[in-house]
A = this chain, B = another copy of it.
Amino acid sequence: MAEKNERVVLAKRPEGMPALDCFRIEETAMPEPSDGRVLIRTIHISLDPYLRGRMTGPQPYVSGYELDAPMDSDVTGQVLASKDPAFAEGDHVMGFLPWQRYTVAKGKWLRRINLAVAPLSAHIGVLGMPGQTAYVGLLDFGRPKEGESVFVSAAASTVGSLVGQIAKLKGCHVAGSAGSDEKVAFCLDECGYDACFNYKTVERLDKAVKAACPNGVDVYFENVGGPMLDAVLKNINQNARIPLCGMISQYNLVRQEGVHNLIAVLGQRATIKGFIVEDHEDRREAFFNDVSRWIKEGKVKYREHVAEGLENLPQAFIDMLKGTYLGKMVVRLAPESI
């Protein structure tokens, strides 16, 4: 405990793609737990696309990061000292906590992690918010039926790759787009996609979607927005469902690109449904049970990209937004157990 405490604060609001100077790492006091609270050593920090919006300021659906205040997201950690009887020293936990080496949090904000189910970091990835997003968005809003065609953008992402694999388990034709040949190979070779293409190298997006879903698209799980949405809209079938989960292609643009083919939503009686996973906590148990079982049975694969050390968080954040690496972006601050 002689180690110093450090945290990441928002140093500057980005315009467009965040740069390293938007983040600042600074020393902060080592906190002491008071009654009902526990002291946690942070182990993993989850970096997710939606956090980009929080850097801009207050958003309609998430609180914005404050300037010069610590940034936060889902993290894992281990309890170093507890004044909440529900937690004991050594427990592994997760919570929505600051990007800080040592944190004190109310016990009721934390969830205990069972490492027998899956490794620690998986609990903030495929078994955490991104996984639940995939599960709720596909099953509750996409409602895929056996034999239908499901198209997934950002197909190799934490959310996208789980969507694709669940859709395969439901008996669908599954296709997607991703931003590198490595990601395409992951989708095809490990996730069981029937078709996948690198959107950066195909000649025309709409034709690539058509080739990937020759019978049209019944469910489009939308992670990216912009030209990909237009390309899929040209290929939707009657009564298509479009769960709108994210628009990562637009997050770093000062003005969003225009979407030109919305008339297809009318003609095909389609539905675009925006959703935010935090509204669907009632689905957490079903999600967690299903996906953890599928992982154990080898039916769901997932990948992580682990950046080591708090000092590398800013670059990892930028890499996450750029899609530089395959796999869920996680920053690891400490070994998984004391």
In this complex, the member of A258, A272, A274, A279 whose beta carbon has the largest number of chain B beta carbons within 10 angstroms is: A274
Q: How far is the CA of A259 from the CA of B60 in the complex (A)?
A: 19
What's the tally of chain A residues with a CB closer than 8 Å to chain B? Answer: 34
User: Is B272 in contact with A60, judged by CB distance below 8 angstroms?
Assistant: no
Q: How many angstroms from the CA of A265 to the CA of B262 in the assembled complex?
A: 13
Residue among A264, A268, A272 with most chain B CB within 10 A: A272
B-contacting 9-mer, from A29-37, A166-174, A192-200, A240-248:
A240-248
Whether A256 pairs with B263 at a CB distance below 8 angstroms is yes
A229 CB, nearest partner CB in chain B, Å = 8
CA distance A280 to B270 in the complex (A): 15
Select one of B229, B250, B263 contacting A247, CB under 8 A: B263
Interface positions, chain A 28-84, Cβ under 8 Å from B, are 59-61
**Which of B245, B258, B265, B279 is close to A244, meaning CB atoms less than 8 Å apart?**
B265
Q: Smallest CB-CB separation from A275: which chain B residue?
A: B269
Nearest-Cβ distance from residue A270 to partner chain B, whole angstroms: 5
A residues lining the B interface (CB < 8 Å)? 59-61, 225, 229, 238, 244-247, 250, 255-276, 279
Q: Taking the nearest CB of chain B, how far is it from the CB of A18, in angstroms? A: 18
Which residue of B is nearest A271, CB measured? Answer: B273
Using A225-B262, A250-B263, A257-B260 as known contacts, say yes or no to A276 and B269 having CB atoms under 8 A apart. yes
Q: Is the CB of A274 within 8 A of B279?
A: no
Interface centre among A60, A225, A250, A270 (most CB of B within 10 A): A60
Q: Do residues B274 and A266 form an inter-chain contact, with CB atoms below 8 A?
A: yes
Enumerate the 8 nearest inter-chain pairs by beta-carbon distance, A residue then B residue, closest first. Answer: A258-B258, A60-B267, A266-B274, A265-B274, A272-B272, A61-B267, A256-B260, A259-B259
In the complex, the answer to whether A260 meets B262 with C-beta atoms within 8 Å is no
Question: Are the CB atoms of B266 and A246 closer together than 8 Å?
Answer: yes
